[in-house]
Amino acid sequence: MGHALIVEDDEESARMIAALVVREGHTAACAHSIGAARRLIATRRPDLLLLDLHLRDGSGFDLLADLDTLGDTVLVLMSAQAVPETSTGPPGLQATDYLPKPINPQHLKKLLSRLVEPSQLRLELDEVQERWRETGRFGHLIGRSPPMQRVYRQMSRVADTAVSVFVHGESGTGKELVARGVHDLSGRRDQPFLAVNCAALSPHLIESEIFGHERGSFSGAEHQHRGFFERAHGGTLFLDEVTEMPLELQAKLLRVLESGIFMRVGSVQLQQTDVRIIAATNRDAAEAVTSGKLREDLLYRLHVFPIGLPPLRERGDDIQLIARSFLQDLHHADGGAERFTPTALSRLSAYHWPGNVRELRNIVQRTWVMATGPEVGDEWLPPPTVAAAPAAAARALPRRDVPTARATMAGFDDTVPGALEPGGNELMVEVGTQLADVERRVILATYESCGRNKERTAAVLGISMKTLYNRLKEYRL
C-alpha cells in the first residue's frame, strides 16, 4: 500500500482522482494549492506525487523547486495542455510519468500497480543491478563510474513507464545502447525495438518510412508499406538524430505523440498506435531549437525524461575497464590471452577520446591486430593529449586569453609558417578557431611532417588521396 498526494486546484477532479487511488488500495491526500501541498509533504512524504502544472497560486514547478530532493517519491505530472512546460521547470527535474487530463482511469490504475507491487520486472531489474555490482556491466553497458551509475539509475527508473526518453551525448557515448537497455528493462521488451536514423533517411522517403504508405500514393509506391510506427506497435521506436528530421514531419510526429493516432501516406484511415518513443541527438537540443532545426513543442514533448551520457574522458577508470573488456571479447573469439601493459593502460587513460567508446573499440581492435605477443603495449595507441593547455601557453596566445586544445602529432617539422608551435610536435589551436582553419593547419603540418609524401599524409590523417589532393589544391600547394 502506498500513499499518494494529489496536487490539483480543481477540487472535483482532485476528489475523483483520490477516489480512484483509494479504490486501488492506497491512501490519498489532496491539496488544492502549493501552500497546502507544502504543509502536507512536511507531515508525510508521499510515495506518489500527482502534480498539476497549473495551480491557482503558481506553477506546480514552484513546489518542486523548493523540495531539495524527491527521494523515492514518484513524480507524475498532470496537464490539460498537450505540452508539459518543462521549459519552466527546475533544471534536472525528471517526471517519471505524464498523465494528460482528463485523467484516464485505466492509465492511472496501471501507474498505481507499478508503484507498489514488486513486479517481475522489478525483480529482473534487481538482478541486472546485482550483476552490475559483480561485473561492471549494466545490460550491454560497461562502466562503474559515478556518472554512469547515474545513467543506470535513470534507466531503471524510467524503463517501465510510458514517458518519452531523450538521450543526449557526444557521438559514440552509447546512446543507442541506452535506448535498447531501456527497452529491455520495460514491459515492452518482447515487442519490437526499431531504430530509425533520421539523418540517414532521404527527406523524400522519411515520411513514408515512418508512417508507411498506401499503394500508388506516390510514383514508385507499388505496394502498401507498413512504416516504423506500425511495425513497432507495442514496442519502442528509437528516433536517432531526431534534430535531422524535416520540420514538417516533426509536426506530424508531435501529433502522433499526443494522440497515438497517425495515417499512412496516401490514406485517410486513422491508425491507433502504442509506441514508446526514445529520441537521441548528439547536438545541443536547445541550440537546435534556436537555429530552427528542431520544433520547440516537439522538444518539450520528447524531453520529459532526459538522460545525458557523459563523454568517455569523464568516466575515469571506466576507460580501462571497457578497454580490457573489449580486448577480452577479442581473445574469446581467437582463443588468445592478450593483456595491456601498465604503460598502455595509463596511455589509454590519458587520451581525450573525441570519438568516445566507439573510438575506444576501434583502437583496441587495431592494437590487438598489431600486437605480436601476449602483451599489448602502447606502440599503436594514440598519443596522450591534454584537454586544456597549461596556463602559460594560453597566456602566450596573442589575441585572446582563452583556454586551448592541443593536437599532438608525430614527426614534427616546422616548415609550414604559423602552423606549428616552435619546439615541439604539437599544433596549438585556439578555442573558437574556425574549423576550416584548423583543418588547413592540421593537413599542412602533417604533410610537412610526412616529408611531403601524399600517400603517407592521407593515411595518417585517415582521408582519401582525392580529399588530400583537393585540399592541397585549395591551399595552392
Ligand X SMILES: Nc1ncnc2c1ncn2[C@@H]1O[C@H](COP(=O)(O)OP(=O)(O)OP(=O)(O)O)[C@@H](O)[C@H]1O
Closer residue to Mg ion in complex, CB, 85/176: 176
Instruction: Give min distance, CB of 374 to ligand X, in A.
Output: 23
# residues contacting Mg ion (CB under 5 A): 2
Closer residue to Mg ion in complex, CB, 177/221: 177
Instruction: Give min distance, CB of 196 to ligand X, in A.
Output: 12
User: How many residues make up the chain in this entry?
Assistant: 477
Please list, in sequence order, all residues whose beta carbon lies within 8 angstroms of the beta carbon of residue 431, skipping any fewer than 6 positions away: 402, 403, 404, 405
Which window, 2-10, 30-38, 284-292, 355-363, contacts ligand X (CB under 6 A)? 355-363
Q: Which of 224, 267, 282, 328 binds ligand X (CB under 6 A)?
A: 282
Q: Is 176 in the site for Mg ion (CB under 5 A)?
A: yes
Instruction: Give min distance, CB of 388 to ligand X, in A.
Output: 24
Closer residue to ligand X in complex, CB, 89/169: 169
Closer residue to ligand X in complex, CB, 61/166: 166
What does the DSSP 8-state code read for residue 310?
P
Instruction: Give min distance, CB of 122 to ligand X, in A.
Output: 24
Partner whose footprint covers residue 142, from Mg ion, ligand X, none (CB < 5 to 8 Å by kind): ligand X
Which window, 48-56, 233-241, 247-255, 402-410, contacts Mg ion (CB under 5 A)? 233-241
# residues contacting ligand X (CB under 6 A): 17
Q: Is 359 in the site for Mg ion (CB under 5 A)?
A: no
Which window, 13-21, 240-248, 352-360, 463-471, contacts Mg ion (CB under 5 A)? 240-248
Bridging pattern class, strands 276-281 and 426-430 = unpaired
Partner whose footprint covers residue 357, from Mg ion, ligand X, none (CB < 5 to 8 Å by kind): ligand X
Instruction: Give min distance, CB of 318 to ligand X, in A.
Output: 7
Partner whose footprint covers residue 386, from Mg ion, ligand X, none (CB < 5 to 8 Å by kind): none
Instruction: Give min distance, CB of 223 to ligand X, in A.
Output: 31
Which residue carries 498506401 as its cell?
214
Which window, 105-113, 174-182, 324-332, 398-406, contacts Mg ion (CB under 5 A)? 174-182
- Binders of ligand X among residues 127 to 186 (CB under 6 A) are 141-143, 169, 171-177
User: For every residue of the chain, which 3-state class applies, written as one string?
Assistant: CCEEEEECCCHHHHHHHHHHHHHCCCEEEEECCHHHHHHHHHHCCCCEEEEECEECCEEHHHHHHCCCCCCCCEEEEEECCCCCCHHHCCCCCCCCEEEECCCCHHHHHHHHHHHHCCCHHHHHHHHHHHHHHHHCEECCEECCCHHHHHHHHHHHHHHCCCCCEEEECCCCCCHHHHHHHHHHCCCCCCCCEEEEECCCCCCCCHHHHHHCECCCCCCCCCCCECCHHHHCCCCEEEEECHHHCCHHHHHHHHHHHHHCEECCECCCCCEECCCEEEEEECCCHHHHHHCCCCCHHHHHHHCCEEEECCCHHHCCCHHHHHHHHHHHHHHHHHCCCCEECHHHHHHHHHCCCCCHHHHHHHHHHHHHHHCCCCEECCCCCCCCCCCCCCHHHHHHCCCCCCCEEEEECCCCCCCCCCCCCCCCCEEEEECCCCHHHHHHHHHHHHHHHCCCCHHHHHHHHCCCHHHHHHHHHHCCC
- Binders of ligand X among residues 92 to 111 (CB under 6 A) are none
Report how far residue 455's alpha carbon sits from residue 334's, in angstroms, rounded to the nearest whole number. Answer: 33
Closer residue to Mg ion in complex, CB, 116/195: 195
Report how far residue 447's alpha carbon sits from residue 467's, in angstroms, rounded to the nearest whole number. Answer: 13
Instruction: Give min distance, CB of 364 to ligand X, in A.
Output: 11
Instruction: Give min distance, CB of 55 to Mg ion, in A.
Output: 39
Instruction: Give min distance, CB of 209 to Mg ion, in A.
Output: 17
Closer residue to ligand X in complex, CB, 142/165: 142
Which window, 125-133, 327-335, 357-365, 467-475, contacts ligand X (CB under 6 A)? 357-365
Q: Which of 30, 49, 322, 428 binds ligand X (CB under 6 A)?
A: 322
Residue 204 CB coordination number (10 Å): 11
Which window, 139-147, 178-186, 234-242, 247-255, contacts Mg ion (CB under 5 A)? 234-242
Partner whose footprint covers residue 177, from Mg ion, ligand X, none (CB < 5 to 8 Å by kind): ligand X
- Binders of ligand X among residues 438 to 457 (CB under 6 A) are none
Residue 27 CB coordination number (10 Å): 15
* Chain-centre distance for alpha carbon 231: 23
Closer residue to ligand X in complex, CB, 142/304: 142
Instruction: Give min distance, CB of 176 to ligand X, in A.
Output: 3
Residues in contact with Mg ion by the rule CB under 5 A: 176, 240
Residues that bind ligand X in the complex, under the rule CB under 6 A:
141-143, 169, 171-177, 240, 282, 322, 357-358, 361
